[in-house]
Amino acid sequence: MNYQAKTPHLDDLIFDNRFTRELPADPEITNNRRQVHGASYSRVLPTPVKQPQTVAYSHEVAELLGLTREICESADFTQVFAGNRQLAGMDCYATCYGGHQFGNWAGQLGDGRAINLGEVLNSNDEHLTLQLKGSGATPYSRNADGLAVLRSSVREFLCSEAMHHLGVPTTRALSLILTGEEVIRDMFYNGNPKAEPGAVVCRVAPSFTRFGSFQILAARKDINLLKKLVDFTIFTDFPHLGEPSVEVYLAWFEEVCQRTAEMIVHWQRVGFVHGVMNTDNMSILGLTIDYGPYGWLENYDPNWTPNTTDSAERRYRFGSQPQIAFWNLGQLANAIYPLIEQVEPLQQAINVYQQTFEQGWQLMVAAKLGLNVYDPEIDNEFNTELLDLLQLVETDMTIFYRKLALLVMDSELSNEVLMLPLLDAYYVPDQLTEAYIVRLGNWLRHYIKRVQSTGVSTAERQKTMNAANPKYVLRNYLAQLAIDKAEQGDFSMVNELLEILRHPYDEQPGKEDFALKRPDWARQRAGCSMLSCSS
């Protein structure tokens, strides 16, 4: 790994803490749970842990920070990113925000188990906020302990990096560190708590500001601080928009809508289901944030949610993610309305979400199918038929689209020969009835003619499809296998998955087992199918 502008020691990291410098702090300094008014954050230190041990770290994120491999593998790195030692220049704090949870206003939430260490200024003059998740209680922890367990931390660490390499806007993860202490959790809230190994993840992003950061101020009618936070956000993260004004506020909101739409298109492209799309889990930068009970679609099912808490209503199911993001943007619009006091321009701005999503969705579908253009008059019905086919029998979404690139472009072939490349995608071969095979064969012939009508060569089609359809994703059962080993002190699979997921679109000879569909034993196993918010 060739690190640029190497930092000889961790203490040489340069911190430029704009958030705490420019925005008002909670005047109370004791770390007790409370409602925090008139402030954007509360200063609080991570809780020291007994025996930290580094499980894994991301070379790419280290490089962003200018950290060498030697630093990342040092005992001091472990101590710092477990929260045991503060570097010169760090200004540790937890932020105040609110949010709608499952559609209901929840009031103050805040960083209940996340503590920001400060903003590193790297060699490219980029500000990167370092945040420890699972580092102890804060004033926003309510009745919780502010800690995290290894299983959820492995999932957060791996998914942050996997999503980045898939091309999905996301927060990043620098490190995953065991605390050497146990944390009591009731995984499914069913009266069966048990001790689990504790862990801390260092998350990295330009900003962790959320929709809920503005909502809490509007709900409290603290319009002065609302304006200050919006102005600060524009100055620091949207400086290209210019000096804050009503027009700039609208342009800013429009860009947030656009970025959010682009993120959701990527989620739908790779089959990612966030699981908890509360407004406090929506990034103002259009980044995927807060990896809780997420999951990847394995058999294609738009009604699937990985979140046990949402199993009845399925508010955050895969197929509803675009609509939920739109609803969440509406709540953000309500929050910033006092700065604009005009409904129509806000509505026009939020319409940008719908326009951006629809355009992005069409381009995404075209890429997944290897088409050089999406023609709604032809392709809407064509794509709907495909999605219906994927649901009629248990079909692995990732494998189906990847293998579709291998289709022999000869419409004279029999149905059975045409579908040969796709057979690995089916979980229950007995479901492939004669009627289904005929219907699929008709769709494949239609697809062949559609591709041929564009003049796209086979090589071009396969290149386009393989760039849009990953071969390797963080399948739920793979993450669980890595967790099982890590809980026994074997971190090899965490690091192996980290490396494989750095190249999700490549063939990676010898790693094909990591691209296989979910095994039968993982259908209902905890951690492989659905998860709770417990971590």
User: What integer pLDDT is reported at residue 186 of this predicted model?
Assistant: 81
Mean pLDDT of all residues in the chain?
A: 95
The last residue of one of the domains, among 367, 394, 418, is: 367
184 and 257 belong to one structural domain = no
DSSP letter at 307? B
389 and 361 belong to one structural domain = no
Report the alpha-carbon distance of residue 363 to residue 331 in Å, rounded.
28
Q: How would residue 527 be classed by pLDDT, with cut points 50, 70 and 90?
A: confident
346 and 486 belong to one structural domain = no
52 and 152 belong to one structural domain = yes
State how far Cα 83 lies from the chain centre: 24
The last residue of one of the domains, among 367, 384, 414, is: 367
Q: How would residue 188 be classed by pLDDT, with cut points 50, 70 and 90?
A: low
User: What integer pLDDT is reported at residue 125 of this predicted model?
Assistant: 95
Q: Could you tell me if residue 406 is left (phi over 0), alpha (psi between -120 and 50 degrees) or otherwise beta? A: alpha
Mean pLDDT lowest for which of 2-6, 40-44, 185-189, 251-255? 2-6
What is the average pLDDT across 88-117? Answer: 98
Report yes or no on 390 lying in a domain.
yes
Report yes or no on 529 lying in a domain.
no
Given a cut of 70, whether residue 193 has pLDDT beyond it is: yes
What's the pLDDT tens digit per position in 423-479?
Answer: 999 999 999 999 999 999 999 999 999 999 999 999 999 999 999 999 999 999 999
378 and 335 belong to one structural domain = no
For 189, the domain range is: 10-212
The last residue of one of the domains, among 317, 350, 367, is: 367
195 and 246 belong to one structural domain = no
Q: Could you tell me if residue 107 is left (phi over 0), alpha (psi between -120 and 50 degrees) or otherwise beta? A: left
208 and 250 belong to one structural domain = no
What's the pLDDT tens digit per position in 363-378?
Answer: 999 999 999 999 999 9
204 and 75 belong to one structural domain = yes
What secondary structure, in 3-state letters, does 60-96 show? HHHHHHCECHHHHCCHHHHHHHHCCCCCCCCCCEEEC
Report yes or no on 462 lying in a domain.
no
Share of the chain above pLDDT 90, in %: 93
Q: Determine contact, residues 98/212, Cβ cutoff 8 Å.
A: yes
Mean pLDDT lowest for which of 7-11, 112-116, 283-287? 7-11
Given a cut of 80, whether residue 83 has pLDDT beyond it is: yes
281 and 200 belong to one structural domain = no
For tokens 């005992």, name the residue: 75
290 and 408 belong to one structural domain = no
Annotation says 280 is catalytic: yes
Q: Write the CB contacts of 450 (distance below 8 Å, at least 6 apart in sequence).
A: 369, 371, 378, 379, 382
Query: Looking at the 3D structure of the chain, how many domains does it have?
Result: 4
36 and 117 belong to one structural domain = yes
User: Is the pTM of the predicted complex or chain greater than 0.75?
Assistant: yes
Closest CA to 131 of 92, 177, 89: 92
Share of the chain above pLDDT 70, in %: 98
What's the pLDDT tens digit per position in 288-336?
Answer: 999 999 999 999 999 999 998 888 899 999 999 999 999 999 999 999 9
Q: How would residue 523 be classed by pLDDT, with cut points 50, 70 and 90?
A: confident
Report yes or no on 415 lying in a domain.
yes
User: What integer pLDDT is reported at residue 214 of this predicted model?
Assistant: 98
Q: How would residue 534 be classed by pLDDT, with cut points 50, 70 and 90?
A: low
Q: How would residue 532 be classed by pLDDT, with cut points 50, 70 and 90?
A: low
User: What integer pLDDT is reported at residue 253 of this predicted model?
Assistant: 98
66 and 172 belong to one structural domain = yes
First and final C-alpha spacing in the chain:
33
Closest CA to 158 of 168, 178, 147, 172: 172
Report yes or no on 363 lying in a domain.
yes
User: What integer pLDDT is reported at residue 3 of this predicted model?
Assistant: 39
User: What integer pLDDT is reported at residue 528 of this predicted model?
Assistant: 81
Report yes or no on 220 lying in a domain.
no
Report yes or no on 32 lying in a domain.
yes
For tokens 């979404």, name the residue: 397
Catalytic residue of the set 26, 111, 231, 280: 280
Report yes or no on 229 lying in a domain.
no
Q: How would residue 1 be classed by pLDDT, with cut points 50, 70 and 90?
A: very low
